[in-house]
Amino acid sequence: MLEELCTCSNTYSKYSHLINPYPENSESEQALVNLQTSILAPVIDHFGTENFQLTYGFCSKDLLKFLNREKSRICVKVDQHIAHELNSKGNYYCKNLGAACDFLIVGVDTTKVIGFLRSLDFDSIYYYGKDKPVHVSWSQTPRRKVWEFTTQNTPKPYGNYYWF
């Protein structure tokens, strides 16, 4: 699963011959393993391998360069796709340590996927729409926040009542 988490993005596919997609920091690799065992494995067990589609995973420093060129919506400082990677000054890119990925369960309303995710040890969940991939992150110190993003890409927090 680690290889898939590091190579599943469209940008990586487009520039794979120019990108090292793997973590440089062993803490990032461990966070990705924790994401896989704590979140992704239970999701796959529950919804089935045949329905699980990883759409975006780990963002290496090389991948970040290409995402910046393409003016992607990634927010390195908060969304945990870059895990525990360090910048040239030796500081973490992301202030929220952990790891994140985006995935879709084909044929399943994303609100149902989020209902299941809430039973797991997640850090944050981003909801973009019923038929859109869901973003989920894992952290050693989970915030347990669920955000809905508007069509203008503005986050709105929702309480527990929203998903039931």
Span 55-113, pLDDT tens digits: 999 999 998 888 877 666 677 788 899 999 999 999 999 999 999 999 999 999 999 99
Band (pLDDT 50/70/90 cuts) for residue 18 is very high
Rounded average pLDDT over 114-140: 93
Starting at the edge strand found earlier in the chain, the sheet holding 145-149 runs 52-56, 99-105, 134-138, 124-127, 145-149, 155-157
Q: How far apart are CA 56 and CA 147, in angstroms?
A: 18
d(C-alpha 75, C-alpha 22), whole Å = 19
Closest CA to 27 of 82, 89, 76, 103: 82
